[in-house]
């Protein structure tokens, strides 16, 4: 399978401005042909802002638009934007994975801000002729992964029994290597311009199966108790953590057939290899 080529940087890395309205990107954009924009105010689990949507918009919408307009004015040919599958929504029904053609249905301020950023970028593209490419990933994992994915590895390494064996769901994930490979493809593929691409490892897993495979990669068997998902949801709600149960118990699948067809792309790294690399990094920290 094709692996992502090692990038060759023709010039030293330049110091960038903050991603906010009013930032001056001219020096960083000089002689640049393609911008890959992956910076953002990321999803916040317990946002304490008085107006979370306004905070997300300031960075993810206004800051992105400001950068894109300066990029277009500076002669940048293509702008590749790393968005999020949260633009599509939070969960999928059985047999109905998200596709790039679906009507967006973001459910939180982060997802709303990412959708609005996509929309403003497409408008800037129409006005200036700069090519826009949007990539919407699900949960990204790999060496150095944090948050809930890292927590699961901690639980498994300690051999803790987990009440997650009764969950019946399907979720899409994407290994960092696979995401980077798609982004590299989008940099210069002639058919990428103007498209929104969903990306995944192209192998969906249930929560119990994911835990079993992570456990195998860590050399620790997953000890899963068959607790009904309904009880987990009720228990998480009583503890004030309904979002955690939703992510563990619900389905979220992506249909990447358009991505594969339009770009002739396939994920170069298998789930098992990516999980092994993730586990090795975790065990060495």
163: its two tokens: 């009440």
- Say whether domain 142-171+203-285 belongs to CATH 3.40.190.10: no
Q: Which CATH architecture has domain 16-136?
A: 3-Layer(aba) Sandwich (3.40)
What is the pLDDT at residue 247?
86
Confidence of residue 50 (pLDDT cuts 50, 70, 90): confident
Q: Is the pTM of this model over 0.75?
A: yes
In sequence order, what are the residues at sequence separation of 6 or more whose Cβ sits closer than 8 angstroms to the Cβ of residue 139? 149, 171, 173, 174
Catalytically active residues, by annotation: 110
Q: pLDDT tens-digit profile of 133-170?
A: 999 999 999 999 998 899 999 999 999 999 999 999 99
Assign 4 to helix, strand or coil.
Answer: coil
Residue 63 and residue 20 in contact, taking contact as beta carbons nearer than 8 Å: yes
What is the pLDDT at residue 2?
42
**How far does CA 140 lie from the centroid of its chain?**
5
Helical (H) or strand (E) element with 134: strand 131-136
Q: Tokens 């593929």 label which residue? A: 189
Helical (H) or strand (E) element with 141: strand 139-141
Domain ranges (residues) in the chain: 16-136, 142-171+203-285
């Amino acid at each position: 399978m094709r692996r992502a080529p090692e990038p060759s940087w023709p010039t030293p890395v330049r110091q960038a401005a903050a991603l906010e309205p009013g930032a001056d990107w001219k020096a960083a954009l000089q002689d640049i042909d393609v911008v890959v924009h992956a910076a953002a105010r990321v999803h916040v689990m317990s946002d304490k802002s008085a107006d979370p949507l306004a905070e997300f918009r300031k960075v993810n919408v206004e800051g992105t638009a400001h950068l894109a307009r300066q990029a277009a004015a500076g002669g940048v040919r293509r702008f590749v934007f790393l968005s999020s599958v949260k633009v599509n929504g939070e969960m999928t029904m059985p047999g109905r994975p998200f596709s790039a053609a679906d009507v967006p249905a973001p459910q939180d301020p982060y997802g709303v801000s990412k959708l609005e950023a996509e929309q403003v970028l497409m408008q800037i593209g129409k006005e200036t002729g700069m090519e826009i490419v949007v990539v919407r990933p699900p949960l990204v994992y790999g060496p150095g992964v944090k948050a809930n994915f890292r927590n699961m590895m901690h639980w498994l390494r300690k051999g803790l029994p987990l009440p997650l064996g009764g969950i019946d769901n399907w979720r899409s994930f994407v290994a960092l290597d696979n995401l980077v490979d798609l982004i590299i493809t989008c940099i210069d593929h002639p058919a990428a311009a103007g498209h929104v691409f969903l990306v995944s490892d192209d192998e969906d897993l249930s929560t119990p199966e994911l835990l079993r495979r992570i456990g195998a990669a860590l050399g620790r068997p997953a000890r899963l108790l068959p607790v009904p998902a309904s009880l987990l949801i009720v228990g998480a709600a009583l503890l004030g953590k309904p979002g955690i149960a939703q992510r563990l118990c619900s389905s979220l699948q992506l249909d990447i057939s358009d991505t594969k067809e339009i770009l002739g792309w396939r994920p170069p790294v298998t789930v098992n290899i990516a999980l092994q690399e993730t586990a090795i990094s975790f065990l060495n920290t």
